[in-house]
């Protein structure tokens, strides 16, 4: 099932939770809604499910306008952050709930039981149908919640922070397993997370949200390598930035053109964003800018260098191989393998525009 979200708006009081969001979700893809808390990602997910009533805009399931349907009619599989299992029901009855009391075609008890057992097999919980939720571990409850959502053969599967309540070890295992289930069942799946690693590792595409607006939609590679906005630069991975003047496709730092090209922001004050691993050190005379190493720290398999640049001592971070011979106080030249320049704008752009047309 293909999903189209058109100009979706939602306000809580005066606080805009969704700011006119447009998003196309392809049939059968696994897409992550990624953003910090308060970015509107959960509101968007709940609006798709029909749990949240938007103030404007439309949601299409295929060609059908789902915004006119109640949550019961939308037929979505929703997995809640805290699973929301019915404590007074056994696992079997939890999974059977939607088939018994939902809006779908009635099934006989034998068919229901058959289906429940199939699903338990799918989520690898064979033999636990007689347990109560209180007798299960966190990871097992998560799986039951997923099986329950799948039982109604949903048009789309929605997961709200599916691994948020689990400890790190269980989380990694379940991540791989969810991807596997998705590939087996082929449901269009949307999940919300604030964990960029989870989003990058698990999904086909990632939609980054900030302050109720969509910042960028793309594959994990696109998001990481070509961030569309300063926010995405800052939120995904590490980055540092330098204040520059943008003139005719050229970035000017403290009066000196940086001899780097492909700067397509409008002229005016701006910032140049660079990831630490995209900084290489050269001789002081080479490089686009030159600076002085003021700090060195070991960080995993790399060394991080704090480099002071220019008269205002702006800081740039570089990730260096440990064998590179540098020490604090060295004068160095800096080359940027990859970078992006954005016009000075306290608020990031409302929609994912910038370099690649969104």
Partner 1 sequence: MPQFRTPSAIPGFGLTYGFVWLYLSIIILIPLGAVVLWAASLGPAKLVAILTRPDTFSALRLSFGLSLLAAGVNAVFGLIVAWVLTRYSFPGRRFFDAAVDLPFALPTAVAGIALTAIYAQNGWVGSLFAPGSLWASVFGPLKIAYTPLGIFVALVFIGLPFVVRTLQPVLVDLDKELEEASATLGARRPTTLFKVILPTLAPALLTGFALAFARAVGEYGSVIFIAGNIPGVSEIAPLLIITRLEQFDYGGATAIATAMLALSFVILLLVNFTEAWSRKRLGHVR
Partner 2 sequence: MSADTLAVAPSAGTVAPVRLPSPVTESPVAKAVLIALAVGFLAFFLLLPLAAVFVEAFRKGVGAYLESFEDPDTLSAVWLTVVVALIAVPLNIVFGLAASWAIAKFEFKGKSFLLSLIDLPFSVSPVVSGMCYVLLFGANGVLGPWLAKHDLQIIFALPGLVLATIFVTFPFVARELIPLMQEQGTSEEEAALSLGAGGFRTFWSVTLPNVRWALLYGVLLCNARAMGEFGAVSVVSGHLRGLTNTIPLQVEILYNDYNFVAAFAVASVLAGLGLVTLAIKTGLEWRYGDQISAAHRH
55 binds, among partner 1, partner 2, none (CB under 5 to 8 A by kind): partner 2
What distance, in Å, lies between the first and last C-alpha atoms of the chain? 22
Q: Which residues contact 152 (CB under 8 A, 6 or more apart)?
A: 75, 77, 98, 99, 102, 104
What's the angle, vertex CA 253, arms to CA 247 and CA 259, rounded to 5?
70
67 binds, among partner 1, partner 2, none (CB under 5 to 8 A by kind): partner 2
Contact (CB, 8 A) for 6 and 22: yes
Please, which residue, 55 or 267, has the CB nearer to partner 2?
55
102 binds, among partner 2, partner 1, none (CB under 5 to 8 A by kind): partner 1
Residues 28-57 that bind partner 1 (CB under 8 A): 49-51
Please, which residue, 87 or 346, has the CB nearer to partner 1?
87
Angle between helices 109-122 and 168-185 (to 10 degrees): 120
78 binds, among partner 1, partner 2, none (CB under 5 to 8 A by kind): partner 1
C-alpha 262/C-alpha 197 separation (Å) is: 29
261 binds, among partner 1, partner 2, none (CB under 5 to 8 A by kind): none
Please, which residue, 149 or 228, has the CB nearer to partner 1?
149
- The single residue listed with the structure tokens 């922070």 is 161
Assigned token pair, 170: 């269980």
Say which DSSP state 178 is in.
Answer: H
3-state secondary structure of 27: coil
- The single residue listed with the structure tokens 């970035």 is 251
- Binding string to partner 1 for residues 53 to 82, with x set by CB under 8 A, is what? ------------------xx-xxxxx-xxx
CB 101, min distance to partner 1, A: 4
For partner 2, the binding residues (CB under 8 A) are: 6-7, 50-51, 53-58, 65, 67-73, 103
Region from 98-106, 181-189, 250-258, 311-319 binding partner 1, contact rule CB under 8 A: 98-106
Asked if 85 is part of the footprint of partner 1 (rule: CB under 8 A), the reply reads yes
Among 114, 135, 137, 180, binds partner 1 (CB under 8 A): 135
C-alpha 203/C-alpha 175 separation (Å) is: 10
Among 60, 132, 253, 302, binds partner 1 (CB under 8 A): 132
Q: Show the beta-strand stretches assigned E in the chain.
A: 3-12, 15-25, 30-34, 56-61, 64-65, 76-79, 156-160, 188-193, 205-210, 213-218, 240-247, 250-253, 256-257, 268-274, 279-282, 289-299, 302-309, 314-320, 331-336, 340-343
Q: 93 — phi, psi (to 5°)?
A: -70, -35
CB 32, min distance to partner 2, A: 25
Angle between helices 138-151 and 168-185 (to 10 degrees): 20
For the chain, the C-alpha Rg in angstroms (whole number) is 25
**Length of the chain (residues):** 358
57 binds, among partner 2, partner 1, none (CB under 5 to 8 A by kind): partner 2
CB 68, min distance to partner 1, A: 16
Please, which residue, 59 or 320, has the CB nearer to partner 2?
59
Among 37, 134, 285, 327, binds partner 1 (CB under 8 A): 134
58 binds, among partner 2, partner 1, none (CB under 5 to 8 A by kind): partner 2
How many residues in the shown chain lie near partner 1 by CB under 8 A? 36
307 binds, among partner 2, partner 1, none (CB under 5 to 8 A by kind): none
Please, which residue, 7 or 135, has the CB nearer to partner 1?
135
C-alpha 98/C-alpha 194 separation (Å) is: 29
H or E stretch at 268: strand 268-274
Assigned token pair, 109: 């008890």
- What does the binding site for partner 1 look like in residue numbers (CB under 8 A)? 49-51, 71-72, 74-78, 80-89, 97-98, 101-104, 132-135, 141, 148-149, 151-152, 165
């Amino acid at each position: 099932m293909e999903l189209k979200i058109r100009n979706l708006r939602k306000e809580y009081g005066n606080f805009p939770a969704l700011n006119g969001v447009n998003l196309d979700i392809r049939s059968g893809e696994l897409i992550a809604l990624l953003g910090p808390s308060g970015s509107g990602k959960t509101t968007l997910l709940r609006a798709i499910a029909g749990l949240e009533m938007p103030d404007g805009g439309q949601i299409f399931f295929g060609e059908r306008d789902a915004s006119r349907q109640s949550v019961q009619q939308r037929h979505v599989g929703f997995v809640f952050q805290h699973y929301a299992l019915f404590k007074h029901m056994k696992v079997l009855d939890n999974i059977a709930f939607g088939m018994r009391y939902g809006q779908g075609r009635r099934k006989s008890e034998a068919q229901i039981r058959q289906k429940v057992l199939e699903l338990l097999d799918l989520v690898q919980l064979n033999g636990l149908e007689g347990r109560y939720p209180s007798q299960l571990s966190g990871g097992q409850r998560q799986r039951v919640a997923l099986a329950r959502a799948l039982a109604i053969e949903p048009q789309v599967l929605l997961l709200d922070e599916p691994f948020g309540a689990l400890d790190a070890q269980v989380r990694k295992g379940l991540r791989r397993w969810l991807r596997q289930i998705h590939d087996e069942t082929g449901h269009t799946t949307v999940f919300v997370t604030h964990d960029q690693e989870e989003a990058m590792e698990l999904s086909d595409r990632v939609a980054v949200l900030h302050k109720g607006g969509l910042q960028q939609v793309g594959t994990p590679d696109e998001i990481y390598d070509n961030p569309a906005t300063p926010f995405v630069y800052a939120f995904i991975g590490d980055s540092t930035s330098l204040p520059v003047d943008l003139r005719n496709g050229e970035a000017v730092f403290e009066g000196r053109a940086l001899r780097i090209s492909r700067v397509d922001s409008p002229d005016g004050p701006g910032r140049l964003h660079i990831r630490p691993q995209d900084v290489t050190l050269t001789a002081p005379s080479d490089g686009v800018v030159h600076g002085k190493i003021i700090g060195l720290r070991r960080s995993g398999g790399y060394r991080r260098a704090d480099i002071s640049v220019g008269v205002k001592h702006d800081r740039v971070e570089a990730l260096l191989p440990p064998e590179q011979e540098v020490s604090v106080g060295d004068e160095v030249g800096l080359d940027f393998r990859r970078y992006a320049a954005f016009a000075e704008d306290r608020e990031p752009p409302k929609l994912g525009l910038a370099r690649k047309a969104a």
